[in-house]
Amino acid sequence: MALGKDYVAQDCSIARALEVVGERWTLLIVRDALYGVRRYNDFLVHLGIPRAVLAARLQSLTDAGVLEKRPCPEAPRRHEYVVTERGRALWPTLRALGTWGRDTFADGKPLRYFRHAACGTELGLTAECPACGGLVPLEDVEMLPGPGLDPDPADPVSRAMLGPRRLLQPIRIDPV
């Protein structure tokens, strides 16, 4: 019996969410978009994803209102993908999933730290600031490299993320 491709028989909010973000690669695309990746080629290089899969996932995320496709300011004939409010709402979920992955599989060497830029406190499980209280707006989240991160990555997107940077700030990689 073939495995179904959707969850239409499920009366469940998690199943509805998985219809949008449950395919392989999708959450990593959203993660990268939150980190500031906007261009198709930058997603491609950073993720190592097949072109057809990336195109399908970007189209799916755009259709679902998670990303918005816009003309690229530097090259209007090209496009970039910008996180919408619906996509931004996934940040606490991605933060919690990343924390779980770090605590479960990272051998005590975090890849990245996320802190509240205003006070320097590391974010809690669902992207809240334990010191200030409340959810930290994405623009106020600073991402820093951790000891488990490769200090000399092969791809230019990973190299651009080696230093401290704010989430949502566009990563601009010059074409080679």
143's enclosing H/E stretch is strand 141-145
In whole angstroms, what is the distance from residue 74 CA to residue 111 CA? 31
pLDDT in tens, 6-64: 677 778 888 888 888 989 999 999 999 999 999 999 999 999 999 999 999 999 999 99
pTM equals 0.91
Place of tokens 């496709």: 69
Distance between CA atoms of residues 82 and 6, nearest Å: 26
Question: Residue 176: which pLDDT band, with cuts at 50, 70 and 90?
Answer: very low
- CA 27-95-156 angle, 5° bins: 60
